[in-house]
Structure 1
Amino acid sequence: MSAFGTNTGTRVNSIAPQDCNVPQAGNDGISSLKWSPAANFLVSTNWDGGVRCWEVQEQGGQVRASPKAQVNHDSQSPALHCCFSPDGSTVFSGGADKAVRMWKLGENPPGGIAQQIGNHDAPVKAVGFLQPSSLVVSGGWDRKLKFWDMRTNNPVGTLDMPERVYDLDVRGNLMCVITANRRMMIYNVGTPQPTLVQNKESPLKFQSRCVSCFPDQTGFAIGGVEGRVGIQYVQKVGNKDHFAFKCHRKDNNAFSVNAIAFNNQYGTFATCGADGVVNFWDKDNKQRLKGFNPIQRSIPCAAFNAQGNLFAYASSYDWSKGSGYHTPGSPNEIYIHYTPENEIKPKAKR
């Protein structure tokens, strides 16, 4: 295994002093962050059951975020994941109420509860949008993938998974699903029925935590609890091959890789960990582009905007150690980091 770099420095509240502290970030841990593909609207899901939206403005590297609206899952059940429709008009979310929900931005649903379009027999851990078929896909701890057309509460399709779904990501025709017991399922969703391309064991030795597809759809990155990331190719690309590297480690301690976020413009990516560290990476040249000093709390989720110049990340407890390590009343914050080109663009080969 290779290690691209290490981190040093003192702990602060944000990875950079000028980062925008997003107001009204919620009352419990932040479980996911997603940007609209059409505009700078940022949406979060929280363990307090909220699905929140902000309008973000950037000028000359200065960032402002304004709260716009909020909906909730039923009975304040934790909201665990979200995604946008391709036109940015609609947010889909899944949560511990076992529901898949839809929120059309600008609408105020009855009681502030987002409209339910689907359900599972256990919490819904991940959702995605399949652009080729205009279906919503959801993965649950009931070991099911379900597909919804938003006009009926009955799924138009169901796939059995080998274990509980921990994460999924969709990019164009590529869908990657990771489950418990270190399984990975790769699908082509550009066909009338999702076609299984690969069903294999994770390259990582321990529990999978997150997965993210490459912008060019040739492969994906998977992160695990042991502080490693695996780079996997679905399609053969030149002389490139699978590899894994160590990150989010300090001394003999390994920290969970909680999120992997790709930059659409350059194909580079960020990793965020339970160690409170953010790193920017270039997988093609196998190098770290930027390492930030660790912050005071774990970083559970992160995302780049469509343009690639804004990087949102959360600072809150990630529940990786269970309820015994949760401190009630501890801060839950979201920051937005303006990302200049020299931080995220691949460097010229020496």
Structure 2
Amino acid sequence: MTSADIEIPNPPSDSISSLSFSGKADYLAVGSWDNSVRVYELSPQGQSQGRAMYSHQAPVLSVCWNEAGNQIFSGGVDAGFAFDIATGQTTQFAQHDGPIKVVKWVNTPHTGLVVTGSWDKTIKYWDLRTPTPVATVNLSERCYTLDAHYPLMVVGTADRQIHLFDLAKSTTPYKTMTSPLKLQTRVVSCCHPSDKAGFAVGSIEGRVAFHYVEEKNRSYDYSFRCIKDQSLIYSVNDINFHPVHGTFTTCGSDGTIHFWDKDARMRLKSFNRAPGPIVCSTFNSRGSIFAYAVAYDWYKGHSGMADGHPNKLMLHAVKDEDVQKRAPRR
């Protein structure tokens, strides 16, 4: 956290699980373990105002927006729901045999799809014009994380497998590999669209790895430790690429946030350590606002949820000099 960061008032009453900015305006959707999805409107001065809220019957684990910025999709322990911003109506669009860990809107050339990844070891593709999934894919284990920049989609599962999809050709994976990191996968994030096709993997051991899809780019693969404190094992909870510059952030369960230049292989900025784990984060569409949540990340289960644990929703004004790429080291 920095001294200039702004705390949004009236956050959810339980741990924040997911953040997503609309691509059309500075509206921030926030999913929580209190079963709610809240929508905040942010001003250029950093002020916030609650605009909408709807509820699941169980904890919400993931939220995202459609491309038009008029619908929110959320997945949780119960099901997947769509919320219409204009009408305030909520409708169920997805169902799995287990909790939905991830929802992701994927822009395809003809129509957008919502992809849901579940602990029932499947992912499903949903065309909102039909009530049943257009495709279902069986995975090797529970879906822990998923990201997509069409046509690339990357899915990380509980057995450290990484499934790669070329959505321009098929709804099934064309390649499955073991994570380049030794311990459990926590997050995958597709590289900036202007970059070579590739993705980042973050794990519970405090490391990040970059892996490129095409063999000719594999020489750019590397991994590094981004959480230096080795007295305990801290996980990388989230990775976000800046929408303009293609640099990236890491958020850790040790309460740290770092901005990095992937190509120069150097750290650009570090925040002061927060009073709790950084559980999720996101940039707005222009990359001028970085939102992050300080909350309990359930690493000790229910017994670790002590009274007074911080549950903060924070906004950081991004300076260009903190996210612009540097000249590569020689």
TM-score normalised by structure 2 residue count: 0.94
Task: Say which SS state the counterpart of residue 343 (structure 1) adopts.
Answer: helix
The Cα RMSD (Å) is 1.5
Note the 1:1-350 alignment, pairs <5 A.
15-58=1-44, 62-74=45-57, 77-97=58-78, 99-109=79-89, 114-132=90-108, 133-191=111-169, 193-216=170-193, 218-235=197-214, 240-349=219-328
Q: Is the 8 A contact 1:82 1:92 kept in 2?
A: yes
Report if the CA contact (8 A) 1:177-1:211 is conserved. Answer: yes
Contact 1:82 1:94 in 2 (8 A): yes
Which residue identity lines up with residue 84 of structure 1 in the other structure?
A: W
Aligned AA (1:209): R
Q: Which runs of 5+ in 2 are unaligned?
A: none
User: C-alpha separation between the residues in 2 aligned to 1:235 and 1:337?
Assistant: 35
Structure 1 CA distance for aligned equivalents of residues 168 and 24 of structure 2: 22
Could you tell me how far 1:240 is from its partner in structure 2?
4.4
Give the structure-1-normalised TM-score.
0.89
Kindly state the Cα deviation for residue 152 of structure 1 after the two structures are TM-superposed: 3.1
Asked if the contact 1:249/1:255 (under 8 Å) is kept, the reply is: no
2:81 maps to amino acid = R
SS in 2 for 1:163: coil
Cα distance between partner residues in 2 of 1:167 and 1:251: 25
Q: Is the 8 Å Cα contact of residues 20 and 65 (structure 1) preserved in structure 2?
A: no
Distance 2:112 2:33 in 1: 28
Q: Does the 8 Å CA contact 1:23/1:67 hold for their aligned counterparts?
A: no
Question: Number of residue pairs matched?
Answer: 325
Please state how far the C-alpha of 1:105 moved relative to its aligned partner: 1.2
Q: Which SS does the other structure have where 1:196 is aligned? A: coil
CA distance in 2, matches of 1:41, 1:171: 21
Deviations 1:273-317 (A, max 9, x none): 100000001111111111111111101000011101110000110
- Structure 1 residue 238 displacement after superposition: 5.7
Secondary structure at 2:183 match in 1: coil
Shift of 1:147: 1.0
CA distance in 2, matches of 1:349, 1:206: 29
Could you tell me how far apart the structure 1 residues matched to 2:210 and 2:227 are? 16
Q: 1 CA distance for matches of 2:182 and 2:28? A: 34
Distance 2:163 2:27 in 1: 31
1:10 paired residue number: none
Deviation at 1:42, TM superposition (A): 0.7
* Structure 1 position 145, deviation (Å): 0.6
Report the secondary structure of 1:323's partner residue.
helix
Moved more, 322-331 or 283-292: 322-331
Encode CA deviations 1:218-275: one digit per residue, 9 max, x unaligned. Answer: 1111110000011111135668421110012314323110000110101000000100
Structure 2 residue aligned with 1:3: none
Say if 2:212 and 2:218, in contact at 8 Å, map to a contact too. no
Aligned-partner residue type, residue 88 of structure 1:
G
For 2:216 and 2:42, the matched residues in 1 are separated by 36
Taking structure 1 as reference, are residues 232 and 300 closer, same or farther at Cα in structure 2, changes over 3 Å only?
same
Ranked by relative contact order (alpha carbons within 8 Å, sequence separation 6 or more), the top structure is: 1
CA distance, structure 2, for counterparts of residue 260 and residue 251 of structure 1:
20
- SS at 1:158's partner residue? strand
| SS of residue in 1 equivalent to 2:46 | strand
Q: Deviations over 1:56-75 (max 9, x none)?
A: 111xxx4112111101112x
> Does structure 2 retain, via aligned residues, the 8 Å contact 1:82–1:127?
yes
Q: Name which of structure 1's ranges 222-231 and 322-331 shifts more when overlaid on structure 2.
A: 322-331
**TM-aligned CA deviation for residue 53 of structure 1:** 0.7
Distance in 2 between residues matched to 1:340 and 1:235, nearest whole Å: 33
Contact 1:45–1:80 (8 Å) recurs in 2: yes
Q: C-alpha displacement at 1:168, in angstroms?
A: 0.4
Cα distance change of structure 1 residues 162 and 239 upon mapping to structure 2, 3 Å threshold: closer
**Match of 2:47, SS?**
strand
Give the distance between the partners of 1:349 and 1:157, measured in 2 at CA: 43
